[in-house]
């Protein structure tokens, strides 16, 4: 159960999509003076070394964030992508990008004094790393690290006192039950706090549960009468092109991922309509790269 470590995947194409959506969502929500509570169900270690043992083993950042920063950076990025790149660059010195901020540090960097951040991480090693990394911020009571199951833990904080919240849910999905737990989390949260913003990341892989998840989330949002946004980014085919590989042979690595947001900011569709095509172009690993964006 504790096999997944996000350090192996830090800064990959899925992080580019997830964190671009996260930043754009937070930028809108933080325009109002009222306090915002952010709940991160699977926080990870918070900060990652791209030149460390974990990240360099898979080198997934080479086809992710490192395609968007100097010297590989294109002359002009869509505003939402530029905001994402600027955020990552803020954690680095000079042109080298050696440190990648996970969602806890991206969120904390944007929050104001009145806002709160609750970070859940069950993996014992990552929870210790997260606590140590957060301690260096000297953020006081603004940020809480909780070593517990985020699916259950968030229930204690929904709804928050100020009645404004963003819940980010991005489990590893290594355990098949995660798909059903994401669905159950959203269903329960919408009953507790129908006006919260809920952002769910999921992998797009050849598995029935992954295919069904966005459809199930749409149904939940529609039954609750809530607007939703669904964005996907594909960087390559999931199938090997070589006939020698055999019929139905799978290509290694994650081919695509999606973000499903319930009660999205009204500005999110516009910024993603500009950013997603560029994302697909710049992060493409073969001619099957594509993107989708739908709202309801």
| Residue that the structure tokens 């991480």 belong to | 121
- What span, in angstroms and rounded, lies between the C-alpha atoms of 276 and 194? 28
Q: Has 211 been labeled as part of a binding site?
A: no
In Å, what is the CA distance from 118 to each residue of 64, 155, 182, 249? Answer: 27, 12, 18, 41
Catalytic residue among 170, 188, 212, 286: 170
Q: Has 103 been labeled as part of a binding site?
A: yes
Which of 159, 231, 156 shows the shortest CA–CA distance to 200?
A: 231
Q: Has 150 been labeled as part of a binding site?
A: yes
Question: How does strand 228-234 pair with strand 256-262?
Answer: antiparallel
Backbone angles phi, psi at 29, to 5 degrees: -65, -30
Q: Has 149 been labeled as part of a binding site?
A: yes
Which residues contact residue 205 at a Cβ distance below 8 angstroms, ignoring those fewer than 6 apart? Answer: 238, 254, 255, 256
Q: Has 19 been labeled as part of a binding site?
A: yes
Q: Has 42 been labeled as part of a binding site?
A: yes
170 is catalytic: yes
Question: How does strand 47-49 pair with strand 143-146?
Answer: unpaired
**84 three-class SS:** helix
- What span, in angstroms and rounded, lies between the C-alpha atoms of 267 and 44? 28
- What span, in angstroms and rounded, lies between the C-alpha atoms of 293 and 291? 7
Structure tokens at 201: 């990341």
Are 170 and 181 in contact by the 8 Å Cβ rule? The answer is: no
Binding positions for S-adenosyl-L-methionine? 19, 42, 103, 121, 149-150, 170
Which residues are marked as active site? 170
């Amino acid at each position: 159960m504790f096999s997944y470590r996000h350090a192996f995947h830090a800064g990959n194409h899925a992080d580019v999509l997830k964190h671009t959506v996260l930043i754009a969502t937070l930028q809108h929500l933080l325009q109002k003076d009222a306090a915002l509570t952010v709940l991160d169900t699977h926080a990870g270690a918070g900060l990652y070394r791209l030149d460390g043992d974990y990240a360099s083993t898979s080198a997934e950042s080479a086809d992710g964030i490192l395609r968007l920063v100097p010297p590989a950076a294109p002359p002009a990025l869509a505003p939402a992508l530029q905001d994402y790149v600027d955020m990552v660059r803020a954690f680095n010195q000079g042109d080298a990008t050696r440190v990648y901020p996970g969602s806890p540090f991206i969120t904390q960097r944007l929050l104001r004094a009145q806002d709160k951040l609750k970070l859940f991480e069950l993996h014992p090693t990552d929870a210790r790393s997260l606590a140590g990394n957060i301690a260096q911020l000297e953020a006081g009571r603004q940020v809480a690290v909780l070593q517990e199951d985020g699916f259950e833990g968030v229930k204690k904080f929904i709804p928050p006192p100020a009645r404004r919240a963003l819940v980010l849910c991005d489990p590893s999905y290594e355990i098949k039950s995660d798909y059903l737990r994401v669905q159950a989390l959203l269903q329960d949260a919408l009953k507790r706090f129908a006006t919260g913003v809920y952002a769910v990341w999921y992998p797009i892989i050849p598995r029935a549960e992954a295919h069904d998840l966005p459809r199930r989330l749409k149904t939940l949002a529609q039954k609750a009468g809530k607007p939703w946004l669904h964005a996907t980014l594909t960087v390559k085919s999931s199938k090997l092109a070589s006939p020698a590989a055999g019929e139905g042979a799978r290509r290694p690595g994650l081919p695509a991922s999606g973000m499903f947001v319930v009660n999205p900011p009204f500005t999110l569709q516009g910024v993603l309509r500009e950013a997603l095509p560029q994302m697909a172009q710049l992060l493409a690993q073969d001619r099957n790269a594509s993107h989708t964006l739908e709202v309801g």
